[in-house]
Amino acid sequence: MSTIRNFTPQISIILTVFNRADIFTRALNSIINQSFTDYEIIIINDGSTDDFHGKIIHYLKYDYRIKYYFHSNSGTVASLNKGINIAEGRYITFLDSDDEYKSNHLESRINYMNYNPEVDLIHSDSLLIGEEADFWIPDAQNPGKLIHVNDCIIGATFFGKKEVFKEKFVEVYSYDSEFIQRISGKYKIRKINNPTYIYYRNSSDGILNRLKNIWKND
């Protein structure tokens, strides 16, 4: 199922969702309230069984920039790759359905890329919300060791030229760091010090918290 309208934006924002009808409006409203407005929002509903569809209808009626797709549950990586295939923007970026942007997030990113045209992809630290214990997750290189979130590569903060993402993500733990490692010899990548992505580490159903609990109980 899809609801689409045709136009060519500067930025494609990919938002995947699974059973987040209760909180996704925080993420979506943070996009709608951005200071930079030349974007499309690609929402991939990964087989939700809650009332997400009923709640998104209101937004679809009033904002032509939203493209909405539903498919059977396939996982985050498959949903992200579907969004990449659909994206029409010059740049592609992401937002997790339980997080949000500061109001200048997109403007700061596109300004950076305009001033640094040789750069293909940027990523950054995040503004973390939660308890200190929530900020430590299993290290992708050594899952028995914990590492601070802002010492990791956070895929949701990726902002890059569309052609970079033709490489696609692969289904592994820490798919974002694997992606960076795989493309680093081919594209120019920079980490910037501009934490305008708000990362809610206190979401109990977040994928990293779920994995962290699994390893704790093993």
pLDDT tens digit sequence for 82-127: 999 999 999 999 999 999 999 999 999 999 999 999 999 999 999 9
Q: Residue 124: which residues within 8 A CB-CB, separation 6 or more?
A: 154, 157, 191, 192, 193, 194, 195, 196, 197
Enter the pTM of the model: 0.88
Count: domains in the chain: 1
Tell me, yes or no, whether 211 lies in a domain. no
Residue 215, in any domain of the structure: no
Q: What is the CATH number of the domain that holds 33?
A: 3.90.550.10
Structure tokens at 203: 């979401």
Q: Is 139's pLDDT higher than 80?
A: no
Q: What is the mean pLDDT of residues 55-60?
A: 93
Q: Is 177 contained in some domain? A: no
Q: Give a yes or no: residue 45 inside a domain.
A: yes
**Residue 109 falls within a domain, yes or no?**
yes
Banded model confidence at residue 202, pLDDT cuts 50, 70, 90 = confident
pLDDT in the model for residue 150: 86
What pLDDT score does 213 carry? 44
Residue 31 lies in a domain: yes
Q: Which domain holds residue 36?
A: 2-129+154-165+183-202
Q: Which residue has the higher pLDDT, 207 or 74?
A: 74
